[in-house]
Amino acid sequence: MDFLTLTIFIPLVGGLLILLVRRQSEGVAKGIALAASALTFVVSLPLIFGFDPGKGAYASGLGDLLQFEVDRPWIEALNIRYHIGLDGVSLLLVMLTTFLTPLAIWGSFTAIKQRVKTYYITFLMLETGMLGVFASVDLVLFYVFWEAMLIPMYLLIGVWGGPNRVYAAVKFILYTMVGSLLMLVGILWLYFNGVPGENTFDLVRIFHLGQIPDRAQLYLFGAFALAFAIKVPMFPFHTWLPDAHVEAPTAGSIVLAGILLKMGTYGFIRFCLPLFPYAAHHFAGLMMVLALIGIIYGALVTMMQTDMKRLIAYSSVSHLGFVMLGLFAFNMQGMQGGTIQMINHGLSTGALFFLVGVIYERRHTRTITDYGGLAKVMPKYATLFMIVALSSVGLPGLNGFVGEFLVLVGAFKAKAVYGILGATGVILAVVYLLWMYQRVFFGEVTNDANKKLLDLTTAEKVILAAIIVFIVWIGVHPTTFLSLSENSAQMVLTRLGGM
């Protein structure tokens, strides 16, 4: 059974099914959406259980690492193929996607009241797009999924978003498009010149046979890196993110922060580092500095936010800075730390956005000063919020620490000052999150509107509990997850020069 293809396209099929539903029967549409995304998760389970983490030890290219590979001709005239497969890194991200999407869909049930059918169709299309990006081994296939995923996200923000949604949606799509157009040029260059004597979009072939001159690497790195850096987002390309998050509906924010941003960092691991190692070394210093600015500057700006969602959005800039810091440390600790930190950020920030959504649905405000004393009214909500916040600030025993610790060890090894500056972000994270937490949850309930708020519903508890299970699991036994991506990380490092 080709579980990978099934995983990618079940959501799309689910979306098409919803098309057949009458407009009035919203319940059916919700049911199909949840069922389809849940089925996707179930179908993706054989991927993680069947994955052999030992495969591809000492690999020098992508080909040795790929599992669940499918390789069929698609557009033969241009040698474009339906080539998919997973290595450890993409497996983790595929699992993150199939895990978070049903939770986000379930969490939308009460929040989305307009154009319900269209909403769920859009969401399922988005899932297919995201899964396709992570699974593609053919560059055109990758690019098609990459662009295909933009449209549903654009709609999610632009149709179901807040008051300023059109501005945010246009900003999001234009910004991302500008980046990806240059990437398309890069892809075309690789097609014509990547492998001598052959025109191919196949990553496996480019990895193994590609000969890219140093000078060309610099341009290609630039073209790809711009697309990915916007997506991450790295400083100074980050300003689309807070706008997009503030306007997006809760589920959109969960997926945007949890998964979409990872496409940027994934792109660096998959393309920029292993394919253009000369350029990667050339630009490493710049990337590290930008990552550090992201960490510190991001945290400082986060601290001053008055809107909870904007605060979490800015904190993503800081957190993703850690990921980039790890990736460009060019050692095992940094690479593995960056990879696991991608998952961590997906879980923690996804959960944080969900938590903000919970309170927004009840009070229709996200302004911190509208709250205060919630711990007394909603003790369960306060407890779970605390756990997630602690995961986000990197408390040992929870997931965030594992990633940050490895990243900082790696960065310190690369250059002591990187590690030292990065570690200041650890202090600032406590400042902004605990400060927000205090203002929302502690003190007396001063606002009458907050006195009779409903604590978490069963559905909300289950959704959060599911995420927290992994938050604890990664914190207590990170080797379960680190071992999956180990060989991939090693491969990237080997190509970067055997460090």
Partner 1 sequence: MSNHLYLIPLLPLAGFLINGLLGRKLGDKAVGFIGSAVIGIAFVLSVAAFVELLGLPVHERHIDRTFFTWLAAGSLEVPFGLLLDPLSALMILVVSGVSFIIHIYSIGYMHGDPGYPRYFSFLNLFVFFMLLLVLGDNYPIMFIGWEGVGLCSYLLIGFWFTDEARATAGKKAFIVNRVGDFGFLIGLFLIFATFGTLSYAGVSEQARYWVGPGSVIFWITLCMFFGATGKSAQIPLYVWLPDAMAGPTPVSALIHAATMVTAGVYMVARNSFLFALAPATLSIIAWVGVLTAIFAATIALVNNDIKKVLAYSTISQLGYMFVGCGVGAYAAGITHLMTHAFFKALLFLGAGSVIHAIQHAHERAGFVGDPQDIRYMGGLRRKLPTTYWTFAVACVAIAGIPPFSGFFSKDEIIWRSFAGGHPAVGVVAMIAAGLTAFYMFRLLYLTFHGGWRGRRDQADHLHESPPVMTMPLVVLGLLSIVGGWVAIPHVLGGGMRLEHFLAPSFRIAEELSVMHGHHSVSAEYLVMILSVALAVGGILWARAWYIRNPEAPKRALARAKWLYRLLLNKYYVDEIYDYAFVQTTLAFGDGAWRWFDIPIVDGLVNGLAKLVGWMGMVIRRVQTGLVSNYALMMAIGIILVVGYMVWK
- Binding pattern to partner 1, positions 110-149, x when CB under 8 A? ----------------------------------------
Contact between 391 and partner 1 by CB under 8 A: the answer reads no
- Rounded to whole angstroms, the Cα distance separating 80 from 90 reads 21
Contact between 395 and partner 1 by CB under 8 A: the answer reads yes
| CB of 263 or CB of 332, closer to partner 1 | 332
- Binding pattern to partner 1, positions 480-499, x when CB under 8 A? --xx--x--x----------
Q: Please answer whether residues 170 and 162 qualify as being in contact, where contact means their C-beta atoms are separated by less than 8 angstroms.
A: no
- Binding pattern to partner 1, positions 400-419, x when CB under 8 A? -xx--xx-xx--xx--x--x
List binders of partner 1 among 317-356 (CB under 8 A): 331-333, 335-337
User: Which two three-digit tokens encode residue 194?
Assistant: 């990547």
Helix (H/G/I), strand (E/B), else coil: 294: helix
- Rounded to whole angstroms, the Cα distance separating 308 from 312 reads 6
| CB of 50 or CB of 397, closer to partner 1 | 397
Helix (H/G/I), strand (E/B), else coil: 195: coil
| Single-letter code of the amino acid located at 77 | A
List binders of partner 1 among 242-301 (CB under 8 A): 297, 300-301
How far apart, in Å, are the Cα atoms of 163 and each of 167, 206, 370?
Answer: 9, 46, 19
List binders of partner 1 among 166-205 (CB under 8 A): 171, 174-175
| Single-letter code of the amino acid located at 474 | I
Q: Please answer whether residues 37 and 13 qualify as being in contact, where contact means their C-beta atoms are separated by less than 8 angstroms.
A: no
| CB of 59 or CB of 112, closer to partner 1 | 59
User: Which two three-digit tokens encode residue 469?
Assistant: 């299970």
- Binding pattern to partner 1, positions 429-448, x when CB under 8 A? -xx--xx--x--xxxx----
Binding segment for partner 1 (CB under 8 A), chosen from 66-74, 100-108, 121-129, 478-486, is 478-486
How far apart, in Å, are the Cα atoms of 178 and each of 229, 273, 313?
Answer: 12, 21, 22
Q: Using the Cα atoms of residue 485, residue 487, residue 490 and residue 492 in order, give the sign of their dihedral.
A: negative
Contact between 78 and partner 1 by CB under 8 A: the answer reads no
Q: Please answer whether residues 131 and 41 qualify as being in contact, where contact means their C-beta atoms are separated by less than 8 angstroms.
A: no
Contact between 83 and partner 1 by CB under 8 A: the answer reads no
List binders of partner 1 among 17-46 (CB under 8 A): none
- Closest distance of CB 382 from partner 1, Å: 9
Q: What count of other Cβ atoms lies within 10 Å of the Cβ of residue 188?
A: 16
Size of the site for partner 1 (CB under 8 A): 58
How far apart, in Å, are the Cα atoms of 157 and each of 119, 273, 469?
Answer: 11, 32, 29
Helix (H/G/I), strand (E/B), else coil: 56: coil
Contact residues for partner 1, defined by CB under 8 A: 171, 174-175, 235-236, 238-240, 297, 300-301, 303-305, 331-333, 335-337, 373, 375-376, 390, 395-397, 401-402, 405-406, 408-409, 412-413, 416, 419-420, 423-424, 426-427, 430-431, 434-435, 438, 441-444, 477-479, 482-483, 486, 489
